């Protein structure tokens, strides 16, 4: 389970996240939605412990700064960070060592084949394209078998095949009881994934919704009704979701 309580973050005088609170229940997929600059990445980075913030973040009931909590969660950054001199495989060796996890060859092979990295495992970090880096970054997060996983705009830069695989994989993880939080503004990509969604705007949570509450309503409609933005895309017209 992932619990965020009164999380606030300031960059100088700018309040990027203002008293953000939400809960992603265990084994559910939570989506952090919002337009550009809403504060989604700030919230995700704060949960991951990369930013200073005020408030509280609990991962599996433990403070996110505790080592036990750190052991149980993984983070996929929006911009993948690679070590230039390390091969794809060495990235996996490094991460599993750092998290004290046994590197299972079969598991690694399955993961690499799924993301078409099997024949690229000897490529260096500085030889990879942006999409490849994103795939390695996702593999690094999955190889530690996390109980909670945070993904910041994970579909950006991925090819259609990799997006399909990632979606399938996230559904499998959910079925295994993993708690997932995805930050995105690409509604189409997460339509079939989400269980709970939190719509952010200007650093604040404007609404929290569970799929079962939505009835026949659509995620697009919900989003646009909450943020007040007009739908312009063809086919997205029609009614608005009533809160």
Partner 1 sequence: MVNRIKIALRKPVTYFYVALFLFYVLFLPFSLRVFAAQLGGDSPEGMVTVLTVMAFWMIPGNLIAYAKRKGLVYRNSDVHFLFPSPVSPKRVLLYAHLKTLVAQVLMNVFAAVCGGVVFGVSLWRLAVYFVFSLVVENLLEGSIMILLYGSEKLGEKQRAMVVKGAYGLLLVLVAMGVYWYFQEGLSLQAAASFLHSDMVKMVPVVGWYIGVLHLLFLGPDALNLAVTAAYGILFLGAVLAAWRMKCTGAFYEDAMKFAEDYEEVMKSRKQGDNQKRLGKKQKFGKARVIWKGQGARALFYRQLLEYKKSKYFIFDTSTFMALAAGIGVAYLYTRERGSGFFETFGPFVIPMVSGYLIFVFTALNGKWAKELKSPYTYLIPDSAFRKLMNATAMQHVQSLVNACLITVPGGVVMGMAPMEILLCIVFYVVLSANKLYALAVAEVVVGATLGAFGRQLLQLFIQGIAISAAVVGGVIGMAVGGVLQGYLLMDVFLSLFTFIFMVIAALNFYKIETA
CB of 47 to partner 1, least distance (A): 11
Buried b or exposed e, range 156-168, using 16+ CB within 10 angstroms: bbbeeebbebbbe
CB of 65 to partner 1, least distance (A): 6
- Given the complex with partner 1, which of 124 and 171 has the nearer CB atom? 124
> How far is CA 18 from each of CA 6, 95, 202, 204, rounded to the nearest angstrom?
8, 33, 8, 5
> How far is CA 78 from each of CA 86, 135, 183, rounded to the nearest angstrom?
20, 12, 9
CB of 92 to partner 1, least distance (A): 11
- Interface residues with partner 1 (CB under 8 A) are 12, 45, 48-52, 65, 67-68, 70-71, 74-75, 77, 81, 83-86, 90, 93-95, 97-100, 124, 126
Q: Please, is 228 exposed, middle or buried when counting C-beta atoms within 10 Å of its C-beta (0-12, 13-18, 19+)?
A: exposed
- Given the complex with partner 1, which of 51 and 156 has the nearer CB atom? 51
- Given the complex with partner 1, which of 4 and 193 has the nearer CB atom? 4
CB of 124 to partner 1, least distance (A): 6
Tokens 């608005």 sit at which residue? 240
CB of 118 to partner 1, least distance (A): 20
- How far is the C-alpha of 153 from the C-alpha of 136, rounded, in Å? 15
- Given the complex with partner 1, which of 1 and 51 has the nearer CB atom? 51
- Given the complex with partner 1, which of 113 and 127 has the nearer CB atom? 127
What are the DSSP calls for 16-45, one per residue? EEEEEEEEE-TT-EEEEE--TTSSHHHHHH
């Amino acid at each position: 389970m992932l619990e965020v309580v009164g999380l606030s973050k300031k960059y100088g005088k700018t309040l990027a996240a203002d008293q953000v609170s939400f809960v992603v229940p265990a084994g559910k997929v939570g989506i952090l939605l919002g337009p550009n600059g809403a504060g989604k990445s700030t919230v995700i980075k704060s949960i991951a412990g990369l930013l200073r913030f005020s408030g509280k973040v609990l991962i599996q009931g433990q403070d996110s700064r505790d080592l036990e909590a750190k052991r149980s969660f993984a983070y996929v950054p929006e911009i993948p960070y690679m070590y230039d001199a390390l091969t794809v495989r060495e990235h996996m060796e490094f991460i599993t060592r750092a998290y004290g996890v046994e590197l299972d060859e079969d598991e690694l092979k399955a993961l690499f084949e799924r993301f078409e990295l099997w024949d690229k495992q000897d490529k260096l970090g500085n030889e990879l394209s942006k999409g490849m880096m994103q795939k390695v970054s996702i593999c690094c997060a999955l190889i530690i078998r996390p109980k909670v996983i945070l993904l910041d705009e994970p579909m950006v830069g991925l090819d259609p095949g990799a997006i399909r695989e990632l979606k399938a994989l996230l559904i499998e993880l959910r079925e295994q009881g993993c708690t997932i939080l995805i930050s995105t503004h690409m509604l189409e990509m997460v339509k079939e994934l989400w269980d709970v969604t939190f719509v952010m705007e200007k650093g604040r949570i404007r609404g929290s919704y569970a799929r079962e509450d939505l009835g026949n309503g659509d995620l697009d409609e919900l989003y646009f009704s909450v943020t007040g933005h007009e739908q312009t895309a063809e086919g997205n017209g029609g009614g608005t979701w009533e809160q």
